[in-house]
Amino acid sequence: MCAMSTEIIDEDFNAVPSMLLKRMARYRVTRADSCINCGLCESLCPYGVHRRVEGHVKMLPPADAKCIGPTCSSNTFYCVKACPTQSLLVSPNPVFASMGDPRWTPDMIIATWKQAETGQPLPLDHYAQHANSGGGFDRISIQIPAAKGSFRPEEISTAIDLNHRKYGPRVKIDIPVYGGGMSFGSVSKRTMLAKAIAATKWNTFTCTGEGGYPDMLIPYKDHVITQIATGLFGVREETIKRARIVEFKYAQGAKPGLGGHLLYEKNTPEVAKMREAVPYTSLFSPFPFHSVYSVEDHKKHLDWINAVNPKALLSVKVSTPNDVEMVAVGSYYAGANIVHLDGGYGGTGAAPEIAKKNIAQPIEYAIPKVHRFLEKEGIREDVTLICSGGMRTAMDIAKAICLGADGVVIGTAEMVAMGCVRCANCESGRGCPRGIATTDKELELQNEIPSQAKRLCNLYQSWQMQWKELLHRLDMKDIAELRGRTDLLRYNGTPGRML
């Protein structure tokens, strides 16, 4: 393992310098030139918005992020009213309001940044656990019992097994989450490396995506899944041999019926070399695998990997067609250890809205359907059911497990933790203005690998504390006890209706 990785993995986290929260606040507090620096606002505001450094005459610029906004006007300490020179103004920040979308509201983005910077959990009923999409996980809530008794987090397990079969390697991860495939080309090498470091630190996994396996990930190989997708970009025997898990990507929930695509500007010479392609040409992966038209063909695929690397677990990533439960059973009998259902709420800005919204069934329907069918077939305890596609928060992940999943794969939540503002520019031109989903050398430089890795680790820590608190309130000791507990869920669309 390289020196930098060892240092980072051994370090204590939770101390990421705030780069985003400082600049992005819900409210804007402005102090006019008429301020006489009397210091009254500093003594009044209990949230620390106003500050003057000892020995200095002038007040510091207001710390907007700490301000609770115009609702403060009912308080006796409201600085705007008290200021003797009427120099203060508190107003909504238009930049904040312009961020995100109904699935990733500005509040949810800011809350995720806060978790990434502090590692602290959100309250289980925090308003940012839900967004405004009007569907999907926003329409489901968990009945959370009141806090009780003494809470001993060290006695509660959030670990899950990724191999439920009686034979084969035992692979256990400490949290019910791993990072999804984002290829080199779709994201920067820095992003890939930060994900791999965080996966190693938290004993979980990240995935190469379909753009090949950059050498800099080799020190983290025990926590990197090799993905094989329809374009077979960068697929080599050595990358299959080094993996503990090999994932076949048959389809993506955000683009069912379509292969991946990388537009020409992001296909730099370095990316093209990895993919054995021509630089600055658009790369479209076919759909489907043209070698697989039956479950027998699928079995041959898995047998091929098994022959190359008999020690690897086999994961099969599919979208959620109407007969997804038959696909899951077929994959199990073909030899898959992990059946990975990918729903349509996820995807980067590269995923076309028309595909996301109109093809395949919603993931919250697909999970219980597959879970129950596997039970009926008597093979549920031999399959690891993983799902992905739009799980944004610790509570979304808990809901997915209640619906019947063993664990969850995340993508967008990781990007947001690293500083994504959900501008949907991932695929355009030079790519991500935040330097995350880009191969542009200048844009990439905005992000330091150690601090991006720490942000991810902090997010995982924050989530783990939330799951442990939830399990404690439910009198559970292991996250596996949550699986299939749809009785704990409520459908918010029709009041009182249970799933």
Least distance in angstroms from the C-beta of 135 to ligand SF4: 21
Least distance in angstroms from the C-beta of 280 to ligand SF4: 20
Cβ neighbors of 298 (< 8 A, separation 6 or more) are 292, 316, 330, 331, 334
Strand-strand pairing, 27-31 and 88-92: antiparallel
Measured from the CB atom, the residue of 40 and 218 that comes closer to ligand SF4 is 40
Least distance in angstroms from the C-beta of 414 to ligand SF4: 10
Strand-strand pairing, 140-142 and 384-388: unpaired
Cβ neighbors of 168 (< 8 A, separation 6 or more) are 313, 337
Cβ neighbors of 270 (< 8 A, separation 6 or more) are 439
Choosing from 9, 19, 38, 216, the residue that interacts with ligand SF4 (CB under 6 A) is: 38
Written as six digits, the tokens of 176 are 């019910």
Least distance in angstroms from the C-beta of 65 to ligand SF4: 18
Instruction: Please state, in angstroms and rounded to a whole number, the distance separating the CA atoms of residues 327 and 361.
Output: 14
Choosing from 252, 331, 348, 461, the residue that interacts with ligand SF4 (CB under 6 A) is: 348
The 161-200 site mask, x for binding ligand SF4 (CB under 6 A), equals ----------------------------------------
Count of positions (residues) in the chain: 499
Measured from the CB atom, the residue of 99 and 305 that comes closer to ligand SF4 is 99
Measured from the CB atom, the residue of 189 and 380 that comes closer to ligand SF4 is 189
- Cβ-in-10-Å burial (0-12, 13-18, 19+) of 123 comes to exposed
List, in sequence order, every residue forming a beta bridge with 247; answer none if it has no partner. 227, 315
- Residues 276-335 binding ligand SF4 (CB under 6 A) are none
Is residue 349 involved in binding ligand SF4 (CB under 6 A)? yes
DSSP H helices, 309-362, are 324-334, 353-358
Measured from the CB atom, the residue of 90 and 489 that comes closer to ligand SF4 is 90
Written as six digits, the tokens of 296 are 């027998």
Measured from the CB atom, the residue of 266 and 483 that comes closer to ligand SF4 is 266
Measured from the CB atom, the residue of 83 and 124 that comes closer to ligand SF4 is 83
Contact 32, 79 (CB under 8 A): no
Beta strand spans in 12-134 (E): 27-31, 88-92
The 48-87 site mask, x for binding ligand SF4 (CB under 6 A), equals --x--------x-----------------------xxx-x
Measured from the CB atom, the residue of 99 and 314 that comes closer to ligand SF4 is 99
Sign, CA torsion 65/345/285/216: positive
Written as six digits, the tokens of 146 are 């009141």
Interface size with ligand SF4, residues (CB under 6 A): 29
HEC readout, 250-268: CCCCCCCCCCCEECHHHCC
Least distance in angstroms from the C-beta of 133 to ligand SF4: 16
Measured from the CB atom, the residue of 429 and 493 that comes closer to ligand SF4 is 429
Least distance in angstroms from the C-beta of 319 to ligand SF4: 21
Least distance in angstroms from the C-beta of 254 to ligand SF4: 13
The 400-439 site mask, x for binding ligand SF4 (CB under 6 A), equals ---------------x----xxxxxxx-----x-x-xx--
Residues interacting with ligand SF4, by CB under 6 A? 31, 35-41, 50, 59, 83-85, 87-88, 348-349, 415, 420-426, 432, 434, 436-437
